[in-house]
Chain A
C-alpha cells in the first residue's frame, strides 16, 4: 500500500516543484538574453581600450618630464579608469610589474599589446609611453572586463537577487499554505468531527463557527443527513425494540393466557379447576421472571452492567447453560459438543456469565439450524486454561459472518430472522465488566461463526 502523504508534505512538494520551475524559466530567459547581449566581442573591448591611447600617451608624458606635474599622474589614472570603466590602470616600467591573471602579457616598446587574462574574463592593453624621439618612459597598462563577463557578472548578481526574492516569496507562501492545510484546516475538520459527534450523540453544544465557508456548507449538509438518519434510526429502533419485546414476551404471556383460559373453563371449586389453577401458578412462576428478564435484558443494552465476582467452576456454568439450551438444540437438530476440562476455577459473576454462554450458545444453535446443510449441524464449546487467561470458544457450522465480524457487537445488528440484536452487545458488556475480551471471527474448522471469550485468571488479574 502506498504511503499516504500529509497535506504539509504535499504543499512542500508543490512549492519545491514550482520553485524549481520558476528558477529554470528565469535562468533560461537570462541565458537567452545573455547570448543576445554577448555579441559585444573581445575585438570591441580591444578597440575600446586602444581608442584613446595616443591622447593618453600625450597626457602622461608631461608628468614624466615635469616634476611639478608628477603628482598629477595618479589623479589622471583615476580619471581614465572612471571614464573608461576600467578594471585596472597603472603605469609600469617593466613586465615584472604585471602579475596575476595577466602574468603572461609581455610589453613591447614599439607597439601596444592586447592580452586576454588567463581566465578570459578580462582584456588588457599594454602600450609604450614614448615621445617623438621614440624614447620609452614606461608603459600604460589598462585592463577591462570583457563585456560578456561583465554582463554575465551583472546577470548573475541580478539572478541571485531575483532567486533570493523568489525563494523568500515561496517560503512565505509555503509557510502560509502549509499552516493552512496542516493546522488551520485540520483544526477546522476536528471541530467539524466533534460537532458531528455531538450531533450524533444528541448533546447540546455551543454554536460552532468553522473558519471556511466550504466547511460551513458541509456542516449544514451533514446536519441535514444526520437529522434524516436520526429520524430513520429512531423509527427503526422503536420498531425493532417493540417487536423484539413483543415477540419475546408473547410466548410466556400466551402460556399464562392459555392457563387462565383453561382455569375459566372449569367449574368453581372443582378439583380440575384447582389443578389448572396450580398449573397457572406454576406457569406464572416461570413466565413472569422470564418476562422480567426480557425487559431487563433490553434495558441492559443501555446501561452499565453490575457484576459480583466469586470463585466458581466455569465447566459447571457451561453445563448449566447446556441444560437451558438442550431443548432448543434438540428441536433444531443441532449437536452441541463440549471440549472442556472438568474443573476450571475462575473469579466471575456466574449469574451474569451464564447469560453470555446462553446467548452465544443460542446464537450458535440457531445459526447452525439455519444453515443449508441438514446433517452435521454442530456447535462446539471449547474451554482452555492458561497461566494468565482462560479462553472460551463457541464455534458453529452456520454460514458465518458475511461482513466485518466486529460489527456483530453493535446494537440492533442481527443476522437472525428473529432477534433484538442486543444479545451480543450485552454479552460484550458483561465480558468487559470482567476485564475480559470477546472476539468474533469465522471458524476455519466448521465454516460458521467463531466467538472467543477471554477472561483473565486470578494470576492474570494480579
Chain B
C-alpha cells in the first residue's frame, strides 16, 4: 500500500512536472489595430484568447498541457493568409485559431485541408465556410441565420418589402450576406430595388447617397463592416434618407465606434449580433468584469467569440490523447454542444454552430438589445 502511494506520488509528480508543450497558432491582422481601419479587432481577439487560456489554466494543468501561443500576423492583405498557413503547417502549431473575417477564413480553409492542420475561426460567418469539411471549424453562426432573421424583421415586423442593398464587393462576408439576404427577402415576397457596389476602402459615399436618393425603396440593407457601414449611413442620412437601415454582425454590438462616425446623425437601424455587453447572463457578466479588470476596456463580440472558441479548443486539447493534429481534429468534430459566453451552441462537425442571435436596435447613443432569437425560431436553416 505504502509502495503504491509512493508510486502514485512519484507518477503524480512526474506527470505534473512533465507537462506537454502544445503550440497553438493565433492568426489575425495584428499589425493594424487602429480604429480607423476597417479591420481593427486583432487586439481584442488576442486579449480574449489570452484571457481564455488564463481562465482555463486549471483544465490545462490537469491535462498536463503547457500551452504556447504563436501569432501569425497576415496584416491588412488577406492573401498573406495563405503564406502564414503554410508557415504554420511546417511548424509546431497543433491547430490555428483565428481568421476573424470570412475572407481570411475562406482563403485559409483550403490550405488547412491540404496541410491537414485544424483551424477554428471564432467569428467568420460566410456560408461557404460550412462546405469545406474536415479541418475547418467555426465558432459563429453563419450569414444564413443572420439574413433569415433580418429578412423576417424587415418584411414581417417592419413591413418593408422594397430593399436597397449597398455592398462592398471586395469583401466576401459582405457579398455573401447581400446575396443571401436578397434570396431570403424574395421568400417573403420582398424586392431588392438595387444592389449598389462599393469598395471597403472607400470613404466618400456622396455619389452613392445621391443615387440612392433617386430610388424608390422602403429600407436599406448595409451588409458591411462597422466603419464602412457607419460612413454609408452617415452619407445617406446627410441627403435626407430617413428609411430604416438593416445590418449584420459587422455593425458590432454596443456601437461606440459606429456612432462616433455618425457624429450625432440620427437613424433607425436594426442589426444582428452574437453578444452584447448588456447581456444579463451570469457568464457574460463575469466575462465583462474579468476582461475589464484585465484590459481596462469593454470587450466586444470579437473578444467574446474568440474567448468561447479558445475555451472550446482548450477543452478539445484536454480530451485529445495523444496530442496530434489528426486526433485534435477528431476531438473537435466530436463535440455536440458548448456552453459559452454567447450561450449554448449546438455543434455539428465542420459547420456553423446554431445558437441564439441578438437583434439590436438603435438608440440615441448606440445599439440596445431588442430581442434574442433562438435558432429553432427561424424556420429555414442550412
A68 touches B128 (CB 8 A): yes
Is A59 positioned at the interface, with any CB of B under 8 Å from its CB?
A: yes
Q: How far is the CA of A200 from the CA of B97 in the complex (A)?
A: 119
Size range of the chain A interface in the assembly: 10 to 19
Q: Mask for A68-107, Cβ within 8 A of B = 1, else 0?
A: 1101100110010000000000000000000000000000
Chain A at the B interface: SS class: helix
The smallest beta-carbon distance between A64 and chain B, in angstroms, is: 9
Interface residues of B in 87-131 (CB under 8 A from A): 102-103, 106-107, 126, 128
Is A181 positioned at the interface, with any CB of B under 8 Å from its CB?
A: no
A75 touches B77 (CB 8 A): no
Is B197 positioned at the interface, with any CB of A under 8 Å from its CB?
A: yes
The number of A-B residue pairs with CB atoms under 8 Å apart is 63
Residue ID in chain A nearest B102 by CB atoms: A68
Segment from B164-172, B258-266, B273-281, B341-349 that makes contact with A: B164-172
The smallest beta-carbon distance between B194 and chain A, in angstroms, is: 14
Is B176 positioned at the interface, with any CB of A under 8 Å from its CB?
A: yes
The smallest beta-carbon distance between A134 and chain B, in angstroms, is: 12
Q: How far is the CA of A72 from the CA of B175 in the complex (A)?
A: 9
Is B325 positioned at the interface, with any CB of A under 8 Å from its CB?
A: no
Q: Which residues on the A side are within 8 Å of B243 (C-beta)? A: none
Q: Which of B79, B82, B176, B199 contacts A68 (CB 8 A)?
A: B176
Tell me whether A75 and B170 are in contact in the complex, defined as CB-CB below 8 angstroms, given that A65-B107, A69-B175 are known contacts.
yes
Tell me whether A69 and B197 are in contact in the complex, defined as CB-CB below 8 angstroms, given that A58-B79, A62-B79, A62-B103 are known contacts.
no
Tell me whether A71 and B197 are in contact in the complex, defined as CB-CB below 8 angstroms, given that A66-B172, A132-B83 are known contacts.
yes
Q: How far is the CA of A65 from the CA of B106 in the complex (A)?
A: 9
B103 touches A71 (CB 8 A): no
Tell me whether A132 and B171 are in contact in the complex, defined as CB-CB below 8 angstroms, given that A72-B197, A75-B197 are known contacts.
no
Is A131 positioned at the interface, with any CB of B under 8 Å from its CB?
A: yes
Q: How far is the CA of A194 from the CA of B75 in the complex (A)?
A: 97
Q: Which residues on the A side are within 8 Å of B170 (C-beta)? A: 59, 62-63, 69, 72, 75-76
Q: Which of A63, A79, A131 contacts B82 (CB 8 A)?
A: A131
B103 touches A75 (CB 8 A): no
B103 touches A66 (CB 8 A): yes
Residue ID in chain A nearest B126 by CB atoms: A68
Q: Which of A68, A79, A132 contacts B172 (CB 8 A)?
A: A68
The smallest beta-carbon distance between A457 and chain B, in angstroms, is: 99
Q: How far is the CA of A67 from the CA of B110 in the complex (A)?
A: 14
Is A61 positioned at the interface, with any CB of B under 8 Å from its CB?
A: yes
Residue ID in chain A nearest B80 by CB atoms: A58
Q: Which residues on the A side are within 8 Å of B199 (C-beta)? A: 72, 75-76, 79
Q: How far is the CA of A76 from the CA of B169 in the complex (A)?
A: 9
Interface residues of B in 165-206 (CB under 8 A from A): 168-173, 175-176, 197-199, 201-202
B86 touches A68 (CB 8 A): no
Is B356 positioned at the interface, with any CB of A under 8 Å from its CB?
A: no
Q: Which residues on the B side are within 8 Å of A76 (C-beta)? A: 170, 199
A66 touches B79 (CB 8 A): no
Q: Mask for A145-173, Cβ within 8 A of B = 1, else 0?
A: 00000000000000000000000000000
Residue ID in chain B nearest A55 by CB atoms: B77
Q: Mask for A260-299, Cβ within 8 A of B = 1, else 0?
A: 0000000000000000000000000000000000000000
Q: How far is the CA of A70 from the CA of B171 in the complex (A)?
A: 10
The smallest beta-carbon distance between B83 and chain A, in angstroms, is: 5
Q: How far is the CA of A228 from the CA of B80 in the complex (A)?
A: 110
The smallest beta-carbon distance between B166 and chain A, in angstroms, is: 13
Q: Which residues on the A side are within 8 Å of B176 (C-beta)? A: 68
The smallest beta-carbon distance between A327 and chain B, in angstroms, is: 119
Q: Mask for A40-72, Cβ within 8 A of B = 1, else 0?
A: 000000000000000100110111011111011
Is B249 positioned at the interface, with any CB of A under 8 Å from its CB?
A: no
Q: How far is the CA of A202 from the CA of B102 in the complex (A)?
A: 110
The smallest beta-carbon distance between B130 and chain A, in angstroms, is: 14
Is B78 positioned at the interface, with any CB of A under 8 Å from its CB?
A: yes
Q: Which residues on the A side are within 8 Å of B169 (C-beta)? A: 69, 71-72, 75
Q: Which residues on the A side are within 8 Å of B80 (C-beta)? A: 58
Q: How far is the CA of A61 from the CA of B74 in the complex (A)?
A: 14
Residue ID in chain B nearest A63 by CB atoms: B170
Q: Which residues on the A side are within 8 Å of B173 (C-beta)? A: 68
Q: How far is the CA of A139 from the CA of B106 in the complex (A)?
A: 23
The smallest beta-carbon distance between A311 and chain B, in angstroms, is: 106
Q: Which residues on the B side are within 8 Å of A132 (C-beta)? A: 82-83, 86
A71 touches B77 (CB 8 A): no
Tell me whether A62 and B107 are in contact in the complex, defined as CB-CB below 8 angstroms, given that A69-B170, A131-B82, A132-B83 are known contacts.
yes
Residue ID in chain B nearest A79 by CB atoms: B199
Q: How far is the CA of A75 from the CA of B107 in the complex (A)?
A: 21
Q: Mask for B149-177, Cβ within 8 A of A = 1, else 0?
A: 00000000000000000001111110110
B197 touches A66 (CB 8 A): no
Residue ID in chain A nearest B127 by CB atoms: A68
Q: How far is the CA of A131 from the CA of B82 in the complex (A)?
A: 9
Q: Which residues on the B side are within 8 Å of A55 (C-beta)? A: 77
Interface residues of A in 382-404 (CB under 8 A from B): none
Q: Mask for A334-345, Cβ within 8 A of B = 1, else 0?
A: 000000000000
Residue ID in chain A nearest B84 by CB atoms: A132
Residue ID in chain B nearest A61 by CB atoms: B79
B172 touches A69 (CB 8 A): yes
Q: How far is the CA of A61 from the CA of B171 in the complex (A)?
A: 13
A75 touches B198 (CB 8 A): yes
Residue ID in chain A nearest B75 by CB atoms: A58
Q: How far is the CA of A62 from the CA of B168 in the complex (A)?
A: 14
The smallest beta-carbon distance between B98 and chain A, in angstroms, is: 17
The smallest beta-carbon distance between A456 and chain B, in angstroms, is: 95
Q: How far is the CA of A132 from the CA of B128 in the complex (A)?
A: 24
Q: Which residues on the A side are within 8 Å of B107 (C-beta)? A: 62, 65-66
Q: How far is the CA of A75 from the CA of B199 in the complex (A)?
A: 7
Interface residues of B in 45-96 (CB under 8 A from A): 77-80, 82-83, 86
Q: How far is the CA of A72 from the CA of B167 in the complex (A)?
A: 10
Most buried by A among B126, B173, B175, B202: B175
Going nearest first, the 3 A-B pairs with the smallest beta carbon separation are A72-B170, A72-B169, A68-B172
Q: Show the binding face of A for B, using Cβ within 8 Å.
A: 55, 58-59, 61-63, 65-69, 71-72, 75-76, 79, 131-132
29 sample A-B contacts, Cβ–Cβ < 8 Å, listed by A number? A58-B79, A59-B77, A59-B170, A61-B79, A62-B170, A62-B172, A66-B103, A66-B106, A66-B172, A68-B102, A68-B106, A68-B126, A68-B128, A68-B175, A68-B176, A69-B103, A69-B170, A69-B172, A71-B169, A72-B168, A72-B175, A75-B169, A76-B199, A79-B201, A131-B79, A131-B82, A132-B82, A132-B83, A132-B86
**Additional pairs, 17, CB under 8 Å, beyond known A62-B79, A72-B168, A79-B199:** A65-B106, A66-B106, A66-B107, A66-B172, A68-B102, A68-B126, A68-B128, A69-B170, A69-B171, A71-B175, A72-B171, A75-B197, A75-B198, A75-B199, A76-B199, A131-B82, A132-B86
